[in-house]
Amino acid sequence: MQCSLQLYNTEPAFCLELPKEVSRFNLVHGYFQTGCFVGLCNLEAPTSPNDHLLYSNRSQINSTLKACEDALHDAETACRLQPYWLKVSSDVVDTKENSTGQHIPFEVVDPSDLDCSLCMRLFYEPVTTPCGHTFCLKCLERCLDHNPKCPLCKEGLSECLAMRKYCKTVLMEELIARYLPEELTERRKIYEEEIAELSNLNKNVPIFVCTMAYPTVPCPLHIFEPCYRLMIRRCMETGTKQFGMCISDPVKGFADYGCILEIRNVEFFADGRSVVDSIGKRRFKVIQHSQRDGYNTADIEYIEDQKVQGQEYAALLVLHDSVYDQAYMWFNSLKQALKSRILSHFGPMPAKDPDPQANPNGPAWCWWVLAVLPLENRAQLPFLAMKSLKDRLNGIRRVLTFMSRTRSR
């Protein structure tokens, strides 16, 4: 009698179907030794009338095969037979104790049988889809960024994507840890090196090419492109929660100056899109433009305002207070509908700073004003690159003066 072997994850949502060529491992005894339960997929085979475990496994198989009525019937039978659990468990233990000499020889395990079909490397954090295919967690997530279907059989995985909860295939992890410990150590080392490289906020910093961003100013983003889905996920996984924002450049791809954004919150939609709530942190200058896995990266250096002292500082305080008052009056002169939209998007205008040089990026209200002024990105970029607060204040004053004259005509 021919039957195929199915092994079940400790999480009920996923099942792992083993390829036929793995049968040489003497699977039945080997997997009983890992503490996992084995079910025979021949639905015609008779089951013990009191063995609730077989009914439970067959119910999961029928569910995978979309045989809902049979799955429900077997599940109800398994529930009625639950008192027999202790008997079944003791029988399994007896079987394990009496199965001496049935261990899987280490030398017959072929590491290629436990390779991910996407990255062609040893499974790391393996997860199994409802259709029975196993991949590395990170590999599956990257595939779902582009298409919500199984990479092998093309079955729809929209429900998995909507839940965003992937259950590790514990059985596969135990097999790899037991039979391929050296390969697993090497695989883990490679993964940790990749995470360390992604965590570096000076080299190969991920760059989102979209709009102008400023320190202390909120920057909400709608993420839908696959490359940026990957970028945001990596920012969260590494724990940095930061990436660079630059405007586009027709020659270099993106501008030479930008702002680091810090992710405050991410809300995911069922189809994989997300809304990212971020806020500006620091300004930077791009040293080298590059790319990684479809999105832009850059080697950067951070820039700060140059401080002044003495008479220059006294003159700076006067200029600072004057431009703040001018900006405050300009904002209050706007129509109420426009003011409401600005307040809902950027929040209220920050208060005047007692010491305008306290923050290396300058006063927060300067960046707020620049964000709400109706200027093109190319006109705003020089303000981001300035290291002189005096020059930035004078520039804002000229723009406000021009805006006031234009409105009075």
**Judgement on whether residues 260 and 225 belong to the same structural domain of the protein:** yes
Cα–Cα distance for residue pair 1/282, rounded to 1 Å: 68
**Structure confidence by residue, pLDDT tens digits, 273-324:** 899 999 999 999 999 999 999 999 999 999 999 999 999 999 999 999 999 9
**Judgement on whether residues 183 and 229 belong to the same structural domain of the protein:** no
**Structure confidence by residue, pLDDT tens digits, 94-122:** 444 444 445 666 666 778 888 999 989 99
**Model pLDDT, residue 28:** 32
**Model pLDDT, residue 108:** 66
Mean pLDDT of 125-150: 88
Which residue range forms the structural domain that includes residue 54? 5-190
Mean pLDDT of 63-89: 62
CATH number, domain of 276, equals 2.30.130.40
Q: What letter represents residue 14's amino acid?
A: F
Last residue of a domain, one of 172, 190, 208: 190
- How sure is the predictor about 143, in pLDDT bands with cuts at 50, 70 and 90? confident
**Structure confidence by residue, pLDDT tens digits, 362-381:** 999 999 999 999 999 999 99
**Model pLDDT, residue 111:** 82
More confident residue, 37 or 170: 170
**Model pLDDT, residue 135:** 92
**Model pLDDT, residue 230:** 92
**Judgement on whether residues 331 and 291 belong to the same structural domain of the protein:** no
Please tell me which of 61-75, 91-105, 164-178, 204-218 the model is most confident about, judged by mean pLDDT.
204-218
**Which residues are paired to 39 by β-bridges?**
6
Residue 114: name the closest of 139, 131, 144, 134 by CA. Answer: 134
**Judgement on whether residues 123 and 15 belong to the same structural domain of the protein:** yes
Collapsed DSSP state (helix, strand, coil) of residue 45? coil
- How sure is the predictor about 222, in pLDDT bands with cuts at 50, 70 and 90? very high
Q: Which of 86-100, 129-143, 278-292 has the lowest mean pLDDT?
A: 86-100
Residue 42: name the closest of 53, 54, 32 by CA. Answer: 54
**Model pLDDT, residue 316:** 95
Last residue of a domain, one of 141, 164, 190: 190
For the residues of 168-215, what is the DSSP string, one character each? B-HHHHHHHHHH-HHHHHHHHHHHHHHHHHHT-SSSSEEEEESS---B
**Judgement on whether residues 276 and 316 belong to the same structural domain of the protein:** no
Cα–Cα distance for residue pair 198/240, rounded to 1 Å: 9
Q: Please state, for a pLDDT cut of 90, what percent of the chain lies above it.
A: 47
**Judgement on whether residues 149 and 225 belong to the same structural domain of the protein:** no
The mean predicted confidence, pLDDT, of the chain is: 80
Residues near 136 by beta carbon (within 8 Å), at least 6 away in sequence = 116, 118, 119, 121, 123, 124, 125, 126, 127
How many CB atoms sit inside 10 A of residue 74's CB?
Answer: 24
Cα–Cα distance for residue pair 271/258, rounded to 1 Å: 30
Residues near 273 by beta carbon (within 8 Å), at least 6 away in sequence = 222, 223, 224, 229
**Model pLDDT, residue 63:** 65
**Judgement on whether residues 345 and 295 belong to the same structural domain of the protein:** no
**Model pLDDT, residue 362:** 93
**Judgement on whether residues 264 and 353 belong to the same structural domain of the protein:** no
- How sure is the predictor about 49, in pLDDT bands with cuts at 50, 70 and 90? low
Taking the model in full, what pTM does it have? Answer: 0.67
**Judgement on whether residues 404 and 274 belong to the same structural domain of the protein:** no
**Judgement on whether residues 140 and 9 belong to the same structural domain of the protein:** yes
| Assigned token pair, 297 | 């990266």
More confident residue, 153 or 19: 153
| Assigned token pair, 103 | 């261990």
- How sure is the predictor about 6, in pLDDT bands with cuts at 50, 70 and 90? very low
**Model pLDDT, residue 107:** 64
* pLDDT beyond 90 at 409: no
Cα–Cα distance for residue pair 140/149, rounded to 1 Å: 10
Residues across the chain: 409
**Structure confidence by residue, pLDDT tens digits, 319-346:** 999 999 999 999 999 999 999 999 999 9
Last residue of a domain, one of 303, 337, 370: 303
Cα–Cα distance for residue pair 353/335, rounded to 1 Å: 26
**Judgement on whether residues 118 and 258 belong to the same structural domain of the protein:** no
**Judgement on whether residues 385 and 249 belong to the same structural domain of the protein:** no
Count how many domains the chain has: 3
Q: What letter represents residue 280's amino acid?
A: G
**Model pLDDT, residue 175:** 87
CATH number, domain of 160, equals 3.30.40.10
- How sure is the predictor about 90, in pLDDT bands with cuts at 50, 70 and 90? very low
